[in-house]
A and B are shown apart, each in its own frame.
Chain A
Amino acid sequence: MSEKVLMKGNEAIAEAAILAGCRHYFGYPITPQTEIAAYMAKRMPKIGGTFLQAESEIAAINMVYGVSAAGKRVMTSSSSPGISLKGEGISYLAGADLPALVVNVQRGGPGLGGIQPSQSDYFQATRGGGHGDYHMIVLAPASVQEMAEFTVRGFELADQYRMTAMILADGTMGQMMEPVSLDLHVAPMPEKPWATTGTRMQRPHNIVNSLYLVPEVLERSNFERYERYRTVEENETMYESYRMEDAEICIAAFGIAARVSKNAINAARAEGIRVGMIRPQTLWPFPSAPFRAAADRVRCMISVELSMGQMIEDVRLAAECRVPVYLCNRVGGMIPEPEQILAAIREAAKTGGNKQ
């Protein structure tokens, strides 16, 4: 058992990124993720890395594009409005098949919204957010330990599949302090023969590009990308199953919503209600299989979210209409209380769903 240190979620992300070999960070200040930038500003100069406060989120993501094109591990972080600005760059990263890590510590929206926690960027994250056909690998940590581990994993997956990986956290996760082990295993970075590092007159020139004016060629590049996405779906889907063995009711929740839900589940169990939870750790690829399997065993599902109901669409798709899926939510920076979730569980136990 390695030694644990007490860290904020945002700091854990930053330190884990450094441990993963990331030496380039670009960002623009926005609440509630500024600890990441502050941490990088302190650490990077001491380890020969680059911290640069960009003039905008747009510039930051394009600096990421440049470092990634040059074959190095690189990251940026922001919060919801800033991620919208990065959407253009993320689409270009996808089009050029460049790896990168983007952290979104979500806050309430739309528009300027608020600065309190939210999960209302689920659609933006899991559907891509920018223009064109593409996906990001979306990792949803529910503890400071996972903030650290998923950061490392995000870099590894990004390099392996030449995709953007996103850590989709929220203000609570970012600010939360927990003991964390930083004894993290980091896979060696793969060779990047495609990188634009100068030919050294030893190879033909590399081109990093997302423009394909011949439609057949552009179609093929999309097909190839989606072949890769299928491999990601097959191999990299992650979820936690909590007290699902005998469950009649299945909670779907990620991040902070999953933490609160655990309390509600334990309270409901104490009342004799058989309820469990499937907690997606990857939101794309979405763990459809366990939800599909659960749909044959449970009476109903409850999607607990800090949004007006976004993940619920994926839960419903996975459940294939076999059971009703209810929404239990707060928005605008509010977090559901365990009592609200417990009430939703009780209601579902009394009246909800398919009769056994």
Chain B
Amino acid sequence: MIVFQKPKSLADVPLHYCPGCTHGIVHRLVAEVIDELGIEGRTIGIAPVGCSVMAYDYFNCDMIEAAHGRAPAVATGVKRADPEHHIVFTYQGDGDLASIGMAETVHAAARNENITVIFINNAIYGMTGGQMAPTSLPGQVTQTSPYGRDVKQCGYPVKVCEMLAELEGPEYLERVTVNSVKNVKNAKKAIKKAFQNQLDGKGFSLVEVLSSCPTNWGMTPQKALQWIDEKMIPYYPLGVYKDRSAGTEVSK
């Protein structure tokens, strides 16, 4: 009996991501959820600009490549084009979602747009070679914060789930990570719920996934997963930040 295999809606092509990059894990989880819900034929995914720009090649459902940060607006258009049939998800990194696309993110959430947002937070701009992200940690060394992120000079990281939880609009906000088998299983549950919410017409569902970038963090893949535990989770606590239907506003 096969207990684990590549999900059908994940394309059978090599992923371009660096060794140990957790984008691949999250791609697979999204594909597994699409398979399990039986929605491949109804799903339209929106790829961002950033490392996952070529996500349109990695899923077997219809895909759209959006301008940098604009995925939630594009998703809004696709969803509204056929709200009964279309299942729409965006897949965005931290620069895309929390910097250049902040307005689109916040307003899609405020409208409770019935879409699913997968938000990869790896605290760095990967595609362009490791610059400071809106979510880079205080003191974090990047190409554009070579002496460490100085909060006096360039401010503090953006906590997306906490911020959006203040809004009346969104249905569901959860922060997860994929740095261990247990956490991967939790991440999948959250992603599945974020899609199920859309099927149930509940509205804007965002899953923030704390992810690793071994290459630009300058670590082995193993050390990078540890760094999530040691540095990222203390700053970005895991958990459900809003689950309107369950009556949860903030879990902490």
Whether chain A touches chain B in the assembled complex (some CB pair under 8 Å): yes
Contact surface of A with B, Cβ cutoff 8 Å? 24, 26, 50, 52, 54-56, 58-60, 62-72, 74, 88-89, 92, 96, 196-202, 205-211
Interface residues of B in 35-57 (CB under 8 A from A): 40-44, 46, 53-54, 56-57
Is A201's CB under 8 angstroms from B73's CB?
no
Q: How many A-B residue pairs have CB under 8 A?
A: 136
Chain B residue numbers with a CB within 8 Å of A200 are 41-42
CA distance A62 to B104 in the complex (A): 10
Is A198's CB under 8 angstroms from B74's CB?
no
Is A56's CB under 8 angstroms from B65's CB?
no
18 contacts between A and B (CB under 8 A): A52-B80, A58-B73, A58-B103, A59-B107, A62-B77, A66-B79, A67-B77, A67-B80, A68-B77, A72-B81, A96-B65, A196-B44, A196-B63, A201-B40, A205-B60, A206-B62, A207-B62, A211-B65
Within the complex, which residue of B40, B42, B78 is in contact with A66, where a contact is CB–CB below 8 Å?
B78
What residue of chain A has the Cβ atom nearest to residue B67's Cβ? A92
Is B86's CB under 8 angstroms from A59's CB?
no
12 new A-B contacts at CB < 8 Å, known A198-B41, A198-B86: A24-B77, A52-B80, A55-B106, A58-B73, A62-B70, A62-B77, A66-B46, A66-B80, A66-B81, A69-B64, A69-B77, A211-B54
Chain A residue numbers with a CB within 8 Å of B194 are none
Within the complex, which residue of A70, A88, A202 is in contact with B86, where a contact is CB–CB below 8 Å?
A70
CA distance A170 to B73 in the complex (A): 28
Chain A CB within 8 A of B25 CB: no
Is B44's CB under 8 angstroms from A70's CB?
yes
What residue of chain A has the Cβ atom nearest to residue B53's Cβ? A211
Chain B residue numbers with a CB within 8 Å of A59 are 70, 73, 76, 103-104, 107
Is B73's CB under 8 angstroms from A62's CB?
yes
Is A88's CB under 8 angstroms from B82's CB?
no
CA distance A55 to B87 in the complex (A): 23
Chain A CB within 8 A of B137 CB: no
The B interface, classified by DSSP as helix, strand, loop or mixed, is helix
Chain A CB within 8 A of B236 CB: no
Is B78's CB under 8 angstroms from A209's CB?
no
CA distance A50 to B135 in the complex (A): 35
CA distance A24 to B60 in the complex (A): 27
CA distance A52 to B72 in the complex (A): 14
CA distance A128 to B59 in the complex (A): 33
Chain A CB within 8 A of B173 CB: no
Chain A CB within 8 A of B66 CB: yes
CA distance A211 to B40 in the complex (A): 24
CA distance A348 to B107 in the complex (A): 56
Is A58's CB under 8 angstroms from B62's CB?
no
Chain A CB within 8 A of B213 CB: no
CA distance A58 to B76 in the complex (A): 13
State how many angstroms separate the Cβ of A212 from the closest Cβ of chain B: 11
CA distance A54 to B107 in the complex (A): 8
Chain A residue numbers with a CB within 8 Å of B80 are 24, 50, 52, 63, 66-67
Chain B residue numbers with a CB within 8 Å of A69 are 44, 64, 74, 77-78
Is A199's CB under 8 angstroms from B103's CB?
no
Most central of B61, B63, B74, B87 by chain A CB within 10 Å = B74
What residue of chain A has the Cβ atom nearest to residue B57's Cβ? A207
Q: A59-B104, A63-B76, A197-B86 are in contact. Are A71 and B81 (CB under 8 A)?
A: yes
What residue of chain B has the Cβ atom nearest to residue A91's Cβ? B67
Q: A58-B73, A67-B80, A70-B77 are in contact. Are A202 and B64 (CB under 8 A)?
A: no
Chain A CB within 8 A of B159 CB: no
Interface residues of B in 72-127 (CB under 8 A from A): 73-82, 85-87, 103-104, 106-107
CA distance A196 to B75 in the complex (A): 12
What residue of chain A has the Cβ atom nearest to residue B61's Cβ? A205
Q: A67-B81, A207-B56, A209-B56 are in contact. Are A199 and B62 (CB under 8 A)?
A: yes
CA distance A152 to B92 in the complex (A): 36
Chain B residue numbers with a CB within 8 Å of A208 are 63-65
State how many angstroms separate the Cβ of B55 from the closest Cβ of chain A: 10
CA distance A52 to B41 in the complex (A): 27
What residue of chain A has the Cβ atom nearest to residue B81's Cβ? A70
Interface residues of B in 173-215 (CB under 8 A from A): none
CA distance A148 to B107 in the complex (A): 32
Chain A residue numbers with a CB within 8 Å of B70 are 58-59, 62, 65, 89
